[in-house]
């Protein structure tokens, strides 16, 4: 696999679009200045290109293997992880007091985009560790932080999330894993978990499992769920590793993609664990992990989309077929207008999703670090609203773009040995991860929109209005035309938002939720178009190549995705109602 990180595009998006300069000088970011962006991205790009990308297809072919001694990672992965660990990449955005570098989350997201694009199976390992670190930072005791955070942040140990059980799926309230108190203050954890990403492996010294379980006297449902820290190897008082805990991987799932990422069935047989947070309040801890994972999974969509675009673009330059005026003999298919249109669709949607994810990262940091309470509140609203959109819109985009990349390869793309096929297979899990995209749509409508009585979306729409004014103020015909399309898209999103809020207030939840997925897709298109327009305006002061590139992407997106926005409102407001009225005839319910 050949992968070259689009460093200039990433740096431009961070600085000119996502708002990274807003963090300079804020508490907690004393170690950060803009001069760090280029060297960090360049070094991460080398790791992705030279170390991880060459292992992507070989790892897919070999896969992880379950042996009598536990799970063995695909060949080369342990050595690659050692380089990742030694580079300090795990702690990029973690506070310095725990061994991190105290840099912005959005910058760490850009680094993880490279890692996922080069090798998604590899990138899933640190993704889960990020969630464990977040949970301990927010909910762990001082002793737990001192014992586990330094090694997690250093990458010496990795982390997992153990939520899903065969009978429960996304309904964590139905889980049955038990936690029985021990006399020493620990708990005996017993039960089985499925779909545990990197649940066992041999690339790090220890694995710290965060496990949802029930106490003996816990109330039924989600109110009776607690979170426990369960290490693979117990940790002695001096920090050294002790005895093996009574847990193991008893099976590896056979998946359609991400073969080098071991997806484990984990069995806990009285394993020793410790409560994180309050008893029966595990959902709060879980959502801390989940929100971290959702943004990072959204970034997987961006990453796979970028890799699929690069792979398709390279193939389109090499594959010769058909006649084109001005080209002697068979022409590279890049000369065919439909192929160029497909590639432009891929690139524009990747750029939009990248901006959404990076902006969500900046909002998350501002929500913690802004010195003004009103600014923190506004940033938190933006973060909360953008998180389900970043996760769902970006991962749907990743699958779509990977499919388009396969299409450009034609029949060769359908062959398993091609990278295009692997990227398509790998991408498909992301819309399912960390709460399916249907759940993200429910979260967007039920919590993030209705929970704030529309304040969060009004804030975003205000940002969009400001971008429209900036584009119009340039008096450049193409930017004015883009602004007109963005205005029509924003009006459509406003109309759909007003309808959705009314439906939720009238407690007609089925009608609202029937249109939730279509609403999230519209919101992603309009917000993505807003960021692309913002990029085109900002690029006016850049070099001619950057200016032309950003203008072309914004213009194409405006005349395709944004042009369709007004016609999609009835699918939200009326389509769901029509569907519900026809449910009995269709499904007998």
Q: Please name the residue ranges forming H helices in 214-336.
A: 282-318
Q: What angle do CA 411, 396, 524 make, to 5 degrees?
A: 135
- Residue closest to 18 by CA, chosen among 372, 525, 531, 445: 531
Contacts of 463 (CB under 8 A, 6+ apart): 530
Per-residue DSSP letters for 454-490? THHHHHHHHHHHHHHHHHHHT--HHHHHHHHHHHHHH
Helices 419-427, 282-318: axis angle to 10 degrees equals 160
Q: Tell me how crowded residue 82 is: count the other CB atoms within 10 A of its CB.
A: 14
Distance of CA 479 to the CA centre of its chain: 30
Contacts of 213 (CB under 8 A, 6+ apart): 175, 177, 178, 179, 187, 189, 191, 225, 226, 228, 273
Alpha-carbon distance of 408 to 341, in angstroms, equals 11
Alpha-carbon distance of 152 to 255, in angstroms, equals 28
Per the listing, tokens 């009574």 go with: 246
Q: What angle do CA 369, 536, 339 make, to 5 degrees?
A: 120
In DSSP terms, which residues pair with 273 in a beta bridge? 187
Distance of CA 422 to the CA centre of its chain: 19
Residue 409 CB-half CA count within 13 A: 26
377 phi and psi angles, rounded to 5 deg:
-65, -45
Buried/exposed 371-403: b ≥16 CB within 10 Å, e otherwise: eeeeeeebbbbbbbbbbbbbbbbbbbbbbbbbb
- Residue closest to 151 by CA, chosen among 76, 70, 207, 79: 207
Alpha-carbon distance of 175 to 170, in angstroms, equals 10
Catalytic residue among 434, 455, 495, 584: 434
434 catalytic? Reply is yes
Alpha-carbon distance of 293 to 286, in angstroms, equals 10
Alpha-carbon distance of 405 to 316, in angstroms, equals 10
3-class secondary structure, 314: helix
Buried/exposed 280-314: b ≥16 CB within 10 Å, e otherwise: bbbbebbebbbbbbbbbbbbbbbbbbbbbbbbbbe
Give the distance between the most distant pair of CA atoms in the chain. Answer: 83
Query: Which sequence positions are flagged as catalytic?
Result: 434
């Amino acid at each position: 696999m050949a992968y070259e990180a689009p460093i200039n595009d990433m740096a431009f998006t961070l600085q000119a679009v996502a708002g990274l300069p807003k963090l300079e000088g804020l508490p907690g970011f004393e170690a950060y200045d803009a001069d760090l962006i280029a060297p960090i991205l360049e070094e991460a790009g080398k790791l992705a290109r030279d170390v991880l990308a060459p292992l992507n297809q070989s790892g897919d072919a070999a896969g992880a293997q379950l042996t009598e001694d536990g799970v063995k990672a695909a060949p080369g992965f342990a050595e690659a992880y050692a380089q990742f660990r030694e580079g300090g990449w795990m702690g990029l955005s973690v506070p310095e007091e725990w061994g991190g570098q105290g840099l912005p989350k959005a910058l760490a997201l850009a680094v993880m985009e490279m890692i996922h694009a080069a090798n998604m199976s590899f990138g899933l390992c640190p993704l889960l560790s990020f969630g464990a670190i977040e949970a301990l930072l927010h909910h762990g005791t001082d002793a737990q932080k001192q014992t586990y955070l330094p090694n997690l942040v250093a990458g010496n140990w990795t982390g997992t999330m153990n939520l899903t059980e065969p009978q429960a799926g996304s309904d964590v309230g139905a889980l049955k894993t038990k936690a029985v108190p021990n006399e020493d203050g620990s708990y005996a954890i017993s039960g089985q978990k499925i779909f545990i990403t990197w649940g066992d492996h041999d690339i790090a010294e220890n694995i710290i499992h965060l496990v949802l379980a029930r106490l003996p006297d816990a109330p039924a449902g989600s109110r009776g769920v607690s979170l426990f820290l369960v290490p693979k190897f117990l940790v002695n008082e001096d920090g050294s590793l002790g005895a093996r805990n009574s847990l193991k991987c008893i099976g590896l799932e056979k998946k359609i993609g991400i073969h080098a990422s071991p997806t484990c069935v984990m069995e806990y047989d009285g394993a020793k664990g410790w409560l994180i947070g309050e008893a029966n309040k595990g959902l709060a801890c879980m959502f801390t992990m989940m929100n971290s994972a959702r943004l990072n999974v959204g970034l997987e969509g961006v990453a796979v989309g970028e890799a699929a675009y690069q792979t398709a673009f390279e193939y389109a330059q090499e594959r010769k077929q058909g006649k084109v005026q001005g080209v002697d003999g068979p022409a590279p298919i890049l000369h065919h207008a439909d192929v160029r249109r497909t590639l432009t669709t891929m690139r524009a949607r990747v750029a939009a999703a990248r901006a959404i994810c990076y902006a969500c990262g900046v909002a998350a940091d501002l929500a913690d670090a802004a010195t003004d309470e009103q600014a923190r509140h506004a940033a938190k609203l933006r973060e909360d609203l953008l998180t389900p959109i970043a996760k769902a819109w970006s991962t749907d985009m990743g699958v779509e773009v990977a499919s388009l990349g396969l299409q450009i390869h034609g029949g060769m793309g359908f062959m398993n040995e091609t990278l295009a096929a692997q990227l398509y297979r790998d991408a498909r899990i992301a819309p399912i991860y960390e709460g399916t995209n249907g759940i993200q749509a429910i979260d967007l409508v039920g919590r993030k929109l209705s929970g704030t009585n529309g304040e969060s979306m009004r804030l975003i729409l205000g940002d969009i209005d400001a971008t429209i004014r900036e584009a119009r103020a340039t008096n450049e015909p193409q930017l004015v035309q883009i602004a007109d399309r963005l205005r029509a898209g924003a009006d459509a999103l406003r109309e759909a938002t007003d309808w959705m809020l009314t439906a939720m207030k009238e407690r007609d939840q089925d009608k609202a939720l029937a249109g939730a997925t279509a609403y999230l897709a519209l919101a992603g298109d309009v917000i993505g178009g807003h960021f692309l327009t913002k990029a085109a305006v900002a690029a006016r002061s850049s070099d001619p190549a950057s200016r032309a590139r950003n203008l072309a992407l914004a213009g194409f997106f405006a005349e395709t995705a944004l042009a369709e926005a007004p016609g999609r409102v009835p699918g939200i407001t009326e389509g769901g109602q029509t569907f519900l009225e026809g449910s009995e005839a269709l499904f007998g319910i």
